[in-house]
Structure 1
Amino acid sequence: MQDWVLGPESAAATGDTGPWVRWLPLAWAMAADPGGTYSPPPVPRGDNQDGQFIAWWAPLLQLTSYGLGWAQPLRGLARWDQAGRPLDEPVLAAVQRWWGPQLDDVLAWGADWRPGDNEGPYLPLTPTTFERGTLFQPYWGRRSQPEWEQVWGSGSDPLHLWIHARTPLDASVELPEVALEQLLTLPTHPKVAALLHTGRTANQRPNDVLLLPRYAGWYRLLLAAGPPRHGGHDRRVDVVVTPLGWLGQFRRSTKTGLWFRGSHDTHVQGNV
């Protein structure tokens, strides 16, 4: 392995160890600070013998699946691409800056991904059917290129992207197996999550902060949340992983049942 595999962040900040999480903190930072001057890592060249393609592509599914709440991130990316790639959402602005020129590669992979081939897509934890035909038709031609075949052509998930993107849903021995609201009654401890009520905004939305000591399992805690504790139908929760930073302000869709940041119109693009 090359030196780039090992980053300065701990497993608490990334949820895992190894090449697939090397650039995950950078990806969330770009989405949190769209006006920043972050530079994406260089595009990998050659083959994937040292895992460089896994590290480069892996954050894409985490940003879109959990940031945008896309149960079907490849469907969402294809729709976004065919809509002209609008950049009004910070997550998608980060996607364009990082993976934009190579987006056809991952969409060509999605063109022949089959439900049941592996564990994804992983929201809401059940296999779903991707649209075939017209949605992914523009990307089929890319699959015939030798450089695409070299990286993506061996198996249904040659880079193991679905598997390595599951950590926000993982159960963690460091986080309690309780409903989100019950965190209010737990004792304060460095290894226990905290839910902090910060009041209401000017438009009477209930606002909370979910403060977590570890990255693994953060989205699972959101999914365990019940109705807003303080009334209202548009509860906002800022998610902060202390060794990593702010992941965004999330709300739950009454249409999909999933949590997302940004606009609801963008959220539904990656769902049935």
Structure 2
Amino acid sequence: MMPAAPDERANWSESQHNQRLAYYTCLQSFLTYSFGWTRHDKGLDWWRKRDFAELDDRTALIRAVWHTDDTLMGFFAWCTTVDPALAVRPLKRWARDPDRRPLSLDKETETAVMRALSRPPWTGGSDPMHLGGGDHGGAASVSSAYLGGAATEPSHGRLLGADPELRQAVFVADRVEGWYEMLCEEGADLPELPQSRNWRVDVYVREIGFVGTYRRSRATGLWFAGRHELHMAGN
């Protein structure tokens, strides 16, 4: 189930803030760990210029939830305010030469961005949802101790059934915490394939289920699901 859109007319309360946080963190984490985006502002701007077309099942989902809820523009507007160096933080350990250039917008889009930033929930300081740096959405790439949580037993993940002939493997993680980090570490040990071909790794997280079929981009160094064109749009 997807988080319900928060009621921005309601007075602030802890439960309302938590609802907002869950709603926007879900989107942020999806863009980071499925699309493999280091720059959500670039990726969403690229998609916006294509009228938020349904380019695959994932963009169809985002369109059906956040775009339909009329909240996607506000999230995009906030993304344009994030320091590009901070934006790449969740994936910077694995990203090859990430883009840290500020996003250039036309006047019409700048006006729309400023309008969106003047409305709740984006008016409560520079980072009202505490999304900056990916800490809340970073459970897939960092430990709970890094995020200030209680220390827990380490998560475990491993590759199974790696078949160079089929270029396929399966990766299974026992928990959400750190699964992307473990995929990057385990995936680095896969042997090089002839003719610069890519491994296709079916990723399962036991607390979630099937996450997607991932490849490692030779351009960015990052693991991602879906089409490479969509991955590059946000990098």
Shorter-chain TM range is 0.7 to 0.9
Count of matched residue pairs: 214
Q: Deviations over 1:143-170 (max 9, x none)?
A: 3468x44311233221012320111111
SS at match of 1:194: strand
| Identity value in percent | 26
| Structure 1 moving runs of 4+ over 6 Å | none
Distance 1:59 1:135 in 2: 28
- Give unpaired runs (5+ residues) of structure 1: 1-25, 28-39, 176-190
Match of 2:173 in 1: 212
Give the Å deviation of 1:133.
3.0
SS at match of 2:120: helix
| Match 2:188 to one of 221, 226, 229 | 226
CA RMSD of aligned residues (A): 2.7
State TM-score, norm by structure 1. 0.69
**What amino acid maps onto 1:164 in structure 2?**
H
Give the Å deviation of 1:231.
3.3
Give the Å deviation of 1:261.
0.5
SS at match of 1:150: coil
| Residue 134 in structure 1 maps to residue 105 in structure 2 | yes
| Match 1:83 to one of 50, 56, 71 | 50
Match of 1:45 in 2: 8
- Give unpaired runs (5+ residues) of structure 2: 145-151
Q: Deviations over 1:36-63 (max 9, x none)?
A: xxxx624433254331211211111111
Q: Kindly tell me: are residues 193 and 108 of structure 1, through their superposed partners in 2, closer, same or farther at Cα, counting changes over 3 Å?
A: closer
Give the Å deviation of 1:88.
2.4
**What amino acid maps onto 1:132 in structure 2?**
L
| Match 2:122 to one of 135, 144, 152 | 152
**What amino acid maps onto 1:66 in structure 2?**
Y
Q: Kindly tell me: are residues 53 and 193 of structure 1, through their superposed partners in 2, closer, same or farther at Cα, counting changes over 3 Å?
A: same
Give the Å deviation of 1:108.
1.5
Q: Kindly tell me: are residues 132 and 244 of structure 1, through their superposed partners in 2, closer, same or farther at Cα, counting changes over 3 Å?
A: closer
Q: Kindly tell me: are residues 87 and 141 of structure 1, through their superposed partners in 2, closer, same or farther at Cα, counting changes over 3 Å?
A: closer
Distance 1:48 1:251 in 2: 42
Match of 1:106 in 2: 75
Give the Å deviation of 1:90.
1.7
Distance 2:45 2:111 in 1: 12
Distance 1:143 1:163 in 2: 25
